[in-house]
Amino acid sequence: MRTTAAQGLGFAGLMLSGAIFGFFYAWVCSTMWGLDAADPRVAIAAMQAMNASVRNAVFAPAFFGTPFVLLAAGAAAWLASKPGAALAFGLGGLAYLAGGLFLTMAVNVPMNEALAQLAIPANVDEASAIWQGYSPRWQLFNTLRTVVSAGALAAAGLGLFLLGRPARR
């Protein structure tokens, strides 16, 4: 019974961490490259629109729920006498909490909010200066949270694998 609860929570953690990793990864390998290649006035407007739209009920479970589901899976695995799985889930949850959720709230969100307050300049050079002040730093921190999210996803997969292994004797 306890192993079943850990497996269910572990699977949910795997799905959520996979969703948030994929979300951050898409920004790394396509979205920001496309915006960087666009007219900076278009890039600013598009980023403002995307940031305004991301606050929704579809995004929230993966962004906010991932660390807590992974930590709950770790607790359930511990109660099921699966310490290796508990450690994997717990480390994944803590890593995402610090390097995904908190990092985003401390760096990317304030940058997004500052960009949202700006009027888009008509002059392309002014817009370019704004975009060049925003994009490289935003991408650096997005890459960090992507790597951490990949680690959380790997930890969730490892936790599920370890749940299925027989106990050592």
* Cα-Cα-Cα-Cα dihedral sign, residues 168, 18, 21, 80: negative
pLDDT reported for residue 165: 77
Distance CA 113, CA 149 (A): 23
Q: Report the Cα–Cα distance between both ends of the chain, in Å, rounded.
A: 21
pLDDT reported for residue 166: 73
pLDDT reported for residue 30: 95
Q: What is the CA radius of gyration of the chain?
A: 19
- State the pTM of this model: 0.92
Which structure tokens are listed for 144?
């960090």
Three-state DSSP at 167 gives coil
pLDDT reported for residue 3: 85
pLDDT > 90 fraction of the chain, expressed in percent and rounded:
94
For the chain, list residues with pLDDT below 50. Answer: none
pLDDT reported for residue 122: 96
pLDDT reported for residue 168: 65
pLDDT reported for residue 167: 65
